[in-house]
Each structure stands twice: as C-alpha cells, then as structure tokens.
A and B are shown apart, each in its own frame.
Chain A
Amino acid sequence: MQEAAVRSLLIATTAAVASTAVATLAALGTARQGRFRGRTAIYALINQPLMVPEIVTAVSLLIVFGVIRSSTGYQGLGYLMLAHSAFCIPFAYLPIRARLENMDRTLELAAADLYATPVQAFRRITLPLLMPGIIAGAMLAFVISLDDVVITEFVKSAGQDTLATYMLGQFRRTLTPEVNAISAVLLAITLALLTAFFLITRKRA
C-alpha cells in the first residue's frame, strides 16, 4: 500500500511536470501566433483526451503498449508516466491558455520597443505573467493523474498498482478502514490543490 502511494505521487509529479511543459508550449503556439491553418485541428488534438471516453483511450494504449512491451521487453513505470502525461495535457492547457488570452499584449510590445530580444521578453515579461496559469495547470494535472483509475488499470505493468487501482481491488470485499483512510487523504489533497488552484486563477483576474 505504501509502495502504491509512493508510485501514485511519483507518476502524478512526472505527469504534472511533463504535461504542463507541453501545455505551456501549446498554449503559446495557439494563442499567440494569430490564426493559422490547422489551428482548429490542433485544438481538437490537444483536447482529445477530454472528448474521447476514457475506456477508449485505455484500450488503445493497452494495445499500443502491448506491442512495445513485446518488442522491447521494457516493463518499467515509463508507460504509466507517458499515458498520464498525455491525458493531463488538456487539463494543464486550459488554465494556461485562459491566462494568455487575458494577458495584455502591449507589455510584450513595450519590451520589444525597449530593445528586449524575443527571448528576454519571454523570460522577463511573458513567463512571470503566465506563472499563475502554469502553476494552476500543473496542480490540476497532478490531481487528475492522482485520481485516474481506468487508464491506469489497463496500462499498468506487473506490480504497478497505484493508490487508485489498489482501492479498486479492495472493493469486492467489505470496505476496510484502510480504504476509508486513503479516500479521506486523497480527498484532502484534491481539495487543498483545487482550493489553491481557485485562489491562484482568481488573483488579478
């Protein structure tokens, strides 16, 4: 059970970092470059995990990873980390993009006017202003990863139960105080992060 808890945190942390990094780049690409061909298609692709039923994603990943496993023999946590990072992207993307769209573009223009290179303008102006969105996105991704059951159940390799799938396995017998305790802790973490998410996104909005 302790191992499952550590594994859950590890996967959630990786997924939060990876998906937020991708989501930030995606948000910059889609919200800052004006309209371009294929933008709608990119939106659809980024938000695909929100639209496709989870079980479909799970079974597809199971098949793809099954082939990779058979040909490489690799059984590590990488599959779960990759899967979680992928389906967390839209959750991280939405707050970041919302933040970007509300951001005053003239600040960046002013920076450019004062001879800041694009990189300097990004590091000194855009990124700090974007930070609340990025942190909010990362927290949301962390919570989503921590709670996931369906995809994890199908993607996990031997010996890779997370807290959520461990709890699922306990359900056919009577609910133990242990499961109640895990649920309470997970709920507390989720609530704490969501509260922080709410406060961060509300600030200066």
Chain B
Amino acid sequence: MTKLLLTTALAALATGAAAQDRQLQLYNWGDYTSPEMIEKFEAETGIDVTITDYDSNDTALAKISAGGHGFDLVVPSAHMVPVYVEQGLIQELDLSKLPNHANIAPEWVDVDWDPGRRYTIPWQWGSTAVAVNTSAYSGDINTSDVIFHPPAELEGKINVVPEMSDVMALAILNQGGELCTEDLDVLKRVRDMLMDAKPHWLSMDYDSEAKLSANDIMAALTWNGPTMRARLNNPPVQYGYPKEGYPLWMDSVALLSDAQNVDEAYEFLNFIMAPENAALISNFARYANGITGSEEFMDPEMRDAPEIVIPEEFKANGHFLPTCPPSANDLYTRIWTELQS
C-alpha cells in the first residue's frame, strides 16, 4: 500500500511537468459521461481522456473564471452559455474542423442561447415535469396540479426535486406567469401555492427514481430520465407533461478559450456528433441528445419512450429556461428559502 501511495504521489506531483501523449480534459456533470463512449473514443483516436466532475453550473463557472483550471471542454446548461460567451471563457468553433456539425437536428441549430451553434455542441436535453404512479391515481397527469394541488390519492406520497429554477418555473407557469417574471402578484400566488402544497409532500430530494420504483412515493416533480428508468422498473409510473407549461433544458459542450488540447477537443466534438456515438451518451444517462439519426443506435426501450420523445400534442407546452436577471433570482431565492425551511 505504501509503495502504491508513493508511486502515485510521485506521478501525481509530476503531472504538471510530464509531457504526456495526446490527452483531453473533460469537465462535466458527475455521472453524466458514458464510459463506453469514452473507451470507444480512446480506442479510435489514442487520445487519453480525463473526466472531472462538477455538481452545479455555479461551481463550474467559478472554477473556470478563476483561470488555470487545465480543462479543455465544459458542459454548461443552456442559460449559462451566454454568460460563458460574454466573459470570453469559451471560444468560437471553427466549423470547418467539425464535418459532423451538419448532424445537429434542425430544431437544435438556431437555439436562443447560441444561434447557429457557433459555440456549443448538443450533449443532452430533457424536461422537468411530473411522474405519477397511475395505479394510485387515475386522473389526468398532464398537469402540474398533481404536485401543487395534490389530489387526496397522492397526499403525503410526493417527492419534489430540490432544484430552485425547475420548481419555480413549473410553479410560475402553473399560476399563468411568464418565466423570469418579477410580477409580485404572480409571485405572491406562487409562494402561497408552494407553501400550501408542501405539507402534502413527503420529501424534497434527488432520489425520485428509486422511490418511484419501490412504490415509496406515488408522484414526483422530476426529470424525464429518472422517470423513464423508474417506469422500466415499475410500469404504472407515467410521465405527465403539464398543460400549464413545463421547463426544457439542454446541456451543451463548449471549447474553453484557454484549452491546452484544442485539436483533441475538436476530434472529440466531431466524434460525439456522429449518431452512433451520441446514442451511447443517451443510452448511459437516458436523455435525448439532439443529433439526427442517433435514435436508431439507441437502446430499443428508449427509441419511442414517451419520456424521451415528447408526444406531438405536448411539445408546444415546453419552454426553455431563459437566463433570469439577478433581481428575479433574488425574489425566487426568498421564496425558495422559505419553502426549504
């Protein structure tokens, strides 16, 4: 053990100096990168990929803006991309080095946060909505009322994901407000509704998947990926798309301005836009990826899963979360703090 520690110590201390073979530093959300996809990329290119985890957009932004981080690629959420661009933290892509750029599905090219996809490449996208165990509740599940005004059948059997922006967005849409609203009348109603609803919930944590699978809870405000995994374990679990509106999100890969391994990063970006490789990413984390033709390489149970492929009639109700101004976020934080205490 001592010997192992010592050799690792020497290797670790020397990292800065050692001239390595081709390598790539990916800074991504924890448990989000398909190991199978990375192995395939390493085998094909001989590039050694190191993955480092982060747990929030804020941590990632703080580390990257401090400089000297050593990362090449980062995977921010949609509303963070303009911040990275404004601060000059990510560089414009040379599309001539990315022949697979044409594979980006048309609806994901001209997105608000990066028109023409000049800075970012789609990684995965999904939605935040409601999951209901239909053996416990047979009413309409395409409404956020199942969480905010829970029916008697779901009383005390609800888990809510502790993500402020998602919960606030669903609550504001439920009250007919606009995303990022600072209208105090709307926010007053949102606050009252959340405070009234909370006693009917069981918990606020990230573990909806296991709890839905085990029938510990009968409804959840959660993401589509965990709901799909729960349904595969426990078929009565269904995903509802609230008619009042629900938030969509997308995480995209960006090339950092101070990346050390730029050529390797381009190879990686091009690699993940090949449909068969994008499918590997989706198969691991169970979210859609925004690359045309990747569906046929996905696991069969994902291809037409109603959690992954949004049914046509519900598509219009999905809204991307814009970057809210700090004044709006301050108001939301106050409501959120009250809700959590």
The reply to whether the CB of A21 lies closer than 8 angstroms to some CB of chain B is: no
Closest-CB distance, A149 to chain B (whole angstroms): 9
Q: Could you tell me the dominant secondary structure of chain B's interface residues?
A: mixed
CA distance A170 to B206 in the complex (A): 10
Q: Is the CB of A158 within 8 A of B59?
A: no
Q: Which residues of B contact A73 (CB under 8 A)?
A: 16
The reply to whether the CB of B152 lies closer than 8 angstroms to some CB of chain A is: no
Name which of A27-35, A107-115, A161-169, A191-199 contacts chain B: A161-169
Q: Is the CB of A175 within 8 A of B207?
A: yes
Q: Is the CB of B67 within 8 A of A170?
A: no
A72 nearest CB neighbor, chain B only? B16
Count of A-B residue pairs with CB < 8 Å = 111
CA distance A156 to B68 in the complex (A): 11
A74 nearest CB neighbor, chain B only? B16
Q: Could you tell me the dominant secondary structure of chain A's interface residues?
A: helix
Q: Is the CB of A77 within 8 A of B206?
A: no
Which residues 198-213 of B sit at the A interface, judged by CB distance below 8 A?
Answer: 206-210
Which of B5, B52, B70, B209 lies in contact with A9, CB distance below 8 A? B5
B12 nearest CB neighbor, chain A only? A77
A150 nearest CB neighbor, chain B only? B59
The residue among B8, B30, B210 with the most chain A CB atoms within 10 A of its own CB is B30
Q: Is the CB of A173 within 8 A of B31?
A: yes
Closest-CB distance, A71 to chain B (whole angstroms): 8
The reply to whether the CB of A190 lies closer than 8 angstroms to some CB of chain B is: no
The reply to whether the CB of A67 lies closer than 8 angstroms to some CB of chain B is: yes
Q: Is the CB of B59 within 8 A of A66?
A: no
The reply to whether the CB of A122 lies closer than 8 angstroms to some CB of chain B is: no
Q: Is the CB of A59 within 8 A of B62?
A: yes
Q: Which residues of A contact B71 (CB under 8 A)?
A: 158
Q: Is the CB of B29 within 8 A of A154?
A: no
User: What are the 9 closest A-B residue pairs judged by CB atoms, nearest first?
Assistant: A169-B30, A69-B68, A169-B53, A66-B66, A159-B50, A74-B16, A77-B12, A70-B68, A174-B209
Chain B residues in the interface with A (C-beta under 8 A)? 4-5, 8-9, 12-17, 25, 27, 29-31, 50-55, 59, 62-63, 66-71, 206-210, 226, 229, 285
